[in-house]
Amino acid sequence: MELRRSALVSVLLLSLFSTECLCRNEEERLISYLFKEKGYNKELRPVQRQQDVVEVSLALTLSNLISLKEVDETLLTNVWIEHTWTDYRLSWNASEFDGIQMLRLPSSMVWLPEIVLENNNDAQFEVAYYCNVLVDAAGLCYWLPPAIFRSSCSINVNFFPFDWQNCTLKFTSLTYNAKEIKMMLKQDGNGTHNHTVEWIVIDPESFTENGEWEIIHRPAKKNIYKHIPMESNKHQDITFYLVIKRKPLFYIVNIIIPCVLISFMASLVYYLPADSGEKMTLSISVLLAQSVFLLLISQRLPETSMSVPLIVKYLMFIMVLVTVVVLNCVIVLNLHFRTPSTHVMTDWTKRVTRTHTHTHTHAHTHAHTHTHTHAHTKHMYTHAQTHTHTHAYTHTRTRTHTHTPISSHFAFISINSVFNSPTVLGRVTTSPEHPRYRQHSL
């Protein structure tokens, strides 16, 4: 009885082990069938005839816009490149292999279209990780390798920091021409209603937003260059466009606002008295501050002579104005602190600033004399009384005109001093003994 029981347990264990080995060996047998029995060669294109073309579909999924280095004109992105093509040599009948519908094969075992980023800046054509290729029973191959690309991006700095850039990711086959593979954009849909994915795919759940750049537009396009023969691998490419706009808040707060405030301080130089000794200090400090801002901006921009940024034009204009202010302060202070004991006026200065003075004096004197004589005769007694009043009024007006020619202009100084000084020279009442009294008495 015990022997029968142990035999039953042994049979059960063997059956379970054989089932597990059968399931494991079906996939191995399928791989052996595809690569050994069929004689798969990964160096050959998956076509039955030499003139046939392999259709390769591409799609780009943006995972992270890492940075845009303006100085190097390099766009750094983290992407997933989706490749889809059909390899008839990797097809099988699923019913013959225990219903296996999908195989995961190393990318080193199968044929790859070798599509690379053409406009890279570091000469690294390989992807970051060669993941497995998914192959279904119909021979459809799906490959989704991740990559970190450093692509070239021409920077337009005209309106920095209120600028936007149009960067491209251009993909082409490294070894195959247009007669051997046909590059296409991915077709998406349910099979009956398909549409072309003419944009860069962004997964909101996995995408990390950049703090400096905002993605405005992300189209994709297949380009065919008819002037280039089809035998060249430059005849076709698929280009993904990434139109991004700069977020200017950082530059507004840290550069533009301080620059405007410091520029305003240059006008305060004219409100400082010359004896304070701070006019030159303030003006030169403003000039040095503008130079520091210009240096900070130049470190962020590419070394190009094709265009000058708007903010650099503003800083250069302010620096010219502040330089004029400094020169003005030097001249003013030099003239202010000159004394007769330290400086002598040169001959040309005398000629330029010579003075002509004309003085006109007009004097008018008016004198009025009134004499009144009264005589009374009564009772043989004669009384005569004479009153003489003399009024003298003098009016003097003086005009002084000074003409001082300076350079091509002249300064006209007019001093009009009017002195109205009426003076009563005297009021005289003559006595009877005065000669004029006697003359009038006669």
With CA atoms as reference, report the closest residue to 116 among 183, 167, 172.
172
What's the pLDDT at 305?
66
Q: Which two tokens stand for residue 194?
A: 């398909």
Please state the pTM of the whole predicted model: 0.68
The letter for the amino acid at 292 is: V
Q: Which of 120-124, 157-161, 412-416 has the lowest mean pLDDT?
A: 412-416
**Pick from 220-234, 262-276, 334-348: least confident:** 334-348
- Can you name the residues that pair with 79 across neighbouring β-strands? 62, 147
Higher pLDDT, 384 or 128: 128
Cβ neighbours around 358 below 10 Å, total = 9
Decide: 300 and 246 in contact? Cβ < 8 Å.
no
Across 157-283, the runs of DSSP E, i.e. the strands, are 164-173, 181-185, 187-189, 194-196, 201-202, 213-217, 220-224, 236-246
251 close to 260: Cβ distance less than 8 angstroms: no
When mean pLDDT is compared across 279-283, 289-293, 356-360, the lowest value belongs to: 356-360
Give the DSSP H or E segment for 364.
strand 356-378
Q: What is the mean pLDDT of residues 117-132?
A: 86
Instruction: Please give the average per-residue pLDDT across 91-106, as a whole number.
Output: 91
For the segment 180-237, what is each residue's pLDDT rounded down to a tens digit? Answer: 999 999 988 766 677 888 899 998 888 988 999 999 999 999 999 999 998 888 899 9
* pLDDT reported for residue 430: 43
Q: What is the mean pLDDT of the segment spanning 411-436? A: 38
pLDDT band at residue 24, thresholds of 50, 70 and 90? low
Query: What is the structure's pLDDT at 53?
Result: 94
Question: What local confidence, expressed as pLDDT, does residue 357 receive?
Answer: 47
Asked whether residue 340 carries a pLDDT value surpassing 90, the answer given is: no
Is the pLDDT reported for residue 329 higher than 50? yes
Report which listed range, 186-195, 235-244, 255-264, 412-421, is most confident. Answer: 235-244
pLDDT at residue number 139: 92
Contact 144, 18 (CB under 8 A): no
Model pLDDT, residue 325: 86
Q: Is 189 helix (H, G, I), strand (E, B) or coil?
A: strand
- Please answer whether residues 57 and 85 qualify as being in contact, where contact means their C-beta atoms are separated by less than 8 angstroms: yes
| 3-class secondary structure, 175 | coil
End-to-end Cα spacing for the chain: 198
Vertex 321, ends 315 and 322: CA angle to 5°?
A: 85
What average pLDDT does range 325-348 have in this prediction? Answer: 81
The candidate with the shortest Cα–Cα distance to 316, out of 297, 302, 332, is 297
Bond preceding residue 432 cis, omega within 30 of 0 = no
Q: Which helix (H) or strand (E) holds 314?
A: helix 310-336
- All domains in the chain, ordered by first residue: 28-247 (2.70.170.10), 250-336 (1.20.58.390), 348-441 (no CATH)
Cβ atoms within 10 A of the Cβ of 313, count?
A: 11
What is the 8-class DSSP label of residue 392?
Answer: E
pLDDT at 151: 93
What are the residues facing 147 on neighbouring strands? 79
Q: Is the pLDDT of residue 410 over 80?
A: no
Residues with Cβ within 8 Å of residue 280, at least 6 apart in sequence: 326, 329, 330, 333
Tokens of 162: 């209120």
**Chain centroid offset of residue 335 CA:** 42
* Burial of 12: CB neighbours in 10 Å, binned 0-12, 13-18, 19+: exposed
Single-letter amino acid, residue 423: T
Selection from 225, 70, 79 nearest residue 152 by Cα: 70
pLDDT of residue 190: 67
Q: Which single residue is written with the structure tokens 């000669």? A: 435
Binning pLDDT at 50, 70 and 90, where does residue 25 land?
A: confident
- Whether the CB-CB separation of 347 and 197 falls below 8 Å is answered with no
Backbone angles phi, psi at 306, to 5 degrees: -75, -30
Which of 202-206, 276-280, 422-426 is predicted most confidently?
202-206
Q: Which two tokens stand for residue 164?
A: 């936007």
Q: In which residue are the tokens 């059968």 written?
A: 22
Inter-residue contact 189 to 76 (CB < 8 Å): no
Phi (first) and psi of residue 440, to 5 degrees: -70, -30
- How does 323-338 read in b/e, with b if 16+ C-beta sit within 10 Å? eebbeebeeeeeeeee
- Give the separation between CA 29 and CA 21, rounded to whole angstroms: 11
Angle, helices 310-336 vs 257-265, to 10°: value is 20
Q: What is the pLDDT of residue 12?
A: 46
Q: Is the pLDDT of residue 338 over 90?
A: no
Provide the pLDDT for residue 102: 92
What is the C-alpha to C-alpha distance for residues 199 and 219, in angstroms, rounded to an integer? Answer: 4
DSSP letters, 241-286, are EEEEEE-THHHIIIIIHHHHHHHHHGGGGGGS-GGGS-HHHHHHHH
Q: What is the pLDDT of residues 342-398, one digit of tens each?
A: 777 778 877 876 654 454 555 454 444 444 445 444 444 444 454 444 444 455 555
Please give the mean pLDDT across all residues of the chain: 78
What band does 421 get if pLDDT is binned at 50, 70 and 90? Answer: very low
All residues at 6 or more sequence positions from 117 whose CB lies less than 8 Å from its CB, including other chains: 125, 147, 149, 151, 169, 170, 171
Let me know if 99 is exposed, middle or buried by CB neighbors in 10 A (0-12, 13-18, 19+). Answer: exposed
- Condensed to tens digits (0 to 9), the pLDDT of residues 147-176 reads 999 999 999 888 988 999 999 999 999 889
